[in-house]
Homo-oligomer: A and B are copies of this chain.
Amino acid sequence: MYNLAKVSSPIKRLRMTNKMTTQPYKGSRDFYPEDMKIRNFIFDTWKKVCKSYGYEEYDGPFIESFELYAAKSGEELVNEQLYSFEDRGKRKVAIRPEMTPTLARMVASKINELPKPIRWFSIANFWRYEKPQRGRGREFFQLNLDMFGIEGVEADLEVISTSVDILKSFGAKETMFEVRFNNRRLADDIYRNLGLSTEQKKLVNKALDKKLKISQEEFNSWLKDDAKLSNLELKSLNDYLENPMPMVNQLVPKSKGAQEVVKLTELINNQGLSMFVKFDPTIIRGLDYYTGNVFEVYDLNPQNIRAIAGGGRYDDLVTVFGKDKLTGTGYAMGDITLKDFLKGWNLLPKFESECEYLITLWPSEDPKFLKKELEISKILRNNGLNVQTWLENNTKLEKQLKYADKKGCKYVIIIGENELKDNLVTIKNLKDSTQETKPLEKFISDIK
């Protein structure tokens, strides 16, 4: 038994203050039933496509040790966006800002038992301390899909295909989105060709990562002023970005990155995916761990400029746990930008009410009405139907019907004096306002 003396006065005081806010914490969302329907619609579609490719669902804990993120997440994330704190046992912990570190830990833990390739997906909630804005909250859900153990670009093709299939499953057409891919190794070789230093390469990558959101002038001045590119280097780089294929083809004999891009392009063409997936030398991905092909999925609606999804090939996520290297490829898709995408292109369906029957309760003190009502509700439920019952025996029928209407119920059952006496039910169809009375037995056999 805990000590009553522990009841601290600040809590007592808080209980006294009046009128707490009903707003959720800044940057987070309440999911009312109508929001939840959209969320479930998105999750169900994600799951369906992932499973159709043989991916299996996993999940990890919402809190991990701080060290895991310090070791595996990007520095911006860890230094500026992580929700981290000390637990009551003085362990430094953090709320997950992304899935990859957890995924790497879980795969490393069972690396020898798991048959390869490993195909896994998860749908989870993440938190980052960011300034909330369109397409970005502090809290968001992500689909994470990854395949481990296959080096070839065929695996990259598959994960890209799943992202295309997901958007197509929502009804999206090629005019609505585009997958843009590049290759980290190729980018390195291009920069080496231009004679850039390691430091300059990093800065060029960072500038490319922001290119969509800044003007060409800003881009140029970043490269000149920050990355110290000469005018000639800048021109060569811009020429490459403008028309990359000649240089890519020229690099093929000696550049693994160029070979991967050419092969992936070929596979994309063979698979009839070229209207959805395009090579784009400006795609870099912020995170350090990518090593091969990288890609992002963009909404072609100019109102929604943040990527819907992004990912790529990483060659080493598990050695930090003392395991042998294991290559992987995968991506994350966020629910907020995806919802903006679906809304923008009018791809969100109208969700029907899930209420199939409201069984009304005849306004009477006689307990037989309730008994009959509950008896019928049980039968309908046992037949897989969603049934609400009215539970107050002093409510006018009119009010009960109004409730059924507000909740979008398809049918209302009425059992009045006559129905009860003769074992009948009256069924009101709220869609077409028809009504019929029939023997309970007949009604039940019709249901079945």
A76 to B70, CA, bound (A): 33
Give chain A interface residues in 48-102, CB to chain B under 8 Å. Answer: 51-54, 56-65, 67-68, 70-71, 75-76, 78-80, 83, 85-89, 91, 93, 95
Residues of B within 8 Å of A129, CB to CB, are 87-89
Binary flags per residue of A133-170, CB closer than 8 Å to B gives 1, else 0: 00000010000000000101011001000000100000
- Please, which residue of chain B has its CB at the minimum distance from the CB of A147? B391
In the complex, whether A443 has a CB less than 8 A from a CB of chain B is no
- Let me know if B381 and A60 touch, CB within 8 A: no
In the complex, whether A246 has a CB less than 8 A from a CB of chain B is no
In the complex, whether A15 has a CB less than 8 A from a CB of chain B is yes
A336 to B63, CA, bound (A): 18
Residues of B within 8 Å of A76, CB to CB, are 2
Q: Given that A51-B354, A54-B386 are contacting pairs, would A32 and B87 also be in contact in the complex, using a CB cutoff of 8 Å?
A: no
- Let me know if A32 and B127 touch, CB within 8 A: no
- Let me know if A63 and B15 touch, CB within 8 A: no
In the complex, whether A10 has a CB less than 8 A from a CB of chain B is yes
Q: From residue A109, how far is it (CB to closest CB) to chain B in Å?
A: 4
- Let me know if A1 and B62 touch, CB within 8 A: no
Partner of A139, one of B36, B61, B65, B322: B61
In the complex, whether A411 has a CB less than 8 A from a CB of chain B is no
Residues of B within 8 Å of A10, CB to CB, are 70
Binary flags per residue of A349-366, CB closer than 8 Å to B gives 1, else 0: 000001100100000000
- Let me know if B54 and A321 touch, CB within 8 A: no
A152 to B367, CA, bound (A): 13
A78 to B52, CA, bound (A): 44
- Let me know if A371 and B270 touch, CB within 8 A: yes
Q: Given that A52-B385, A62-B139 are contacting pairs, would A155 and B70 also be in contact in the complex, using a CB cutoff of 8 Å?
A: no
In the complex, whether A254 has a CB less than 8 A from a CB of chain B is no
Interface residue range, chain A = 35 or more
- Let me know if B75 and A6 touch, CB within 8 A: yes
A355 to B118, CA, bound (A): 13
- Please, which residue of chain B has its CB at the minimum distance from the CB of A107? B22
Residues of B within 8 Å of A127, CB to CB, are 62-63
| Stretch from A186-194, A202-210, A420-428 contacting the other chain | A202-210
In the complex, whether A302 has a CB less than 8 A from a CB of chain B is no
A314 to B271, CA, bound (A): 59
- Let me know if A321 and B22 touch, CB within 8 A: yes
- Let me know if B1 and A150 touch, CB within 8 A: no
- Please, which residue of chain B has its CB at the minimum distance from the CB of A405? B115
Q: From residue A363, how far is it (CB to closest CB) to chain B in Å?
A: 13
In the complex, whether A242 has a CB less than 8 A from a CB of chain B is no
Partner of A14, one of B63, B70, B387: B70
- Let me know if A158 and B54 touch, CB within 8 A: no
| Stretch from A23-31, A173-181, A232-240, A339-347 contacting the other chain | A23-31
In the complex, whether A407 has a CB less than 8 A from a CB of chain B is yes
A109 to B150, CA, bound (A): 50
- Let me know if B150 and A392 touch, CB within 8 A: yes
The 4 closest A-B pairs by CB, nearest first: A54-B388, A85-B85, A28-B61, A22-B109
Q: Apart from A21-B65, A51-B354, A271-B374, what 9 extra A-B contacts exist at CB < 8 Å?
A: A1-B207, A22-B108, A25-B63, A25-B91, A36-B56, A52-B381, A62-B62, A62-B127, A63-B83
Can you list 25 A-B contacts with CB-CB less than 8 angstroms, sorted by A residue number?
A15-B70, A19-B321, A20-B321, A24-B60, A26-B91, A28-B62, A30-B58, A30-B59, A30-B106, A32-B106, A32-B110, A33-B57, A52-B381, A52-B387, A54-B355, A56-B354, A63-B83, A63-B139, A95-B95, A115-B403, A115-B407, A119-B388, A154-B370, A154-B391, A270-B367
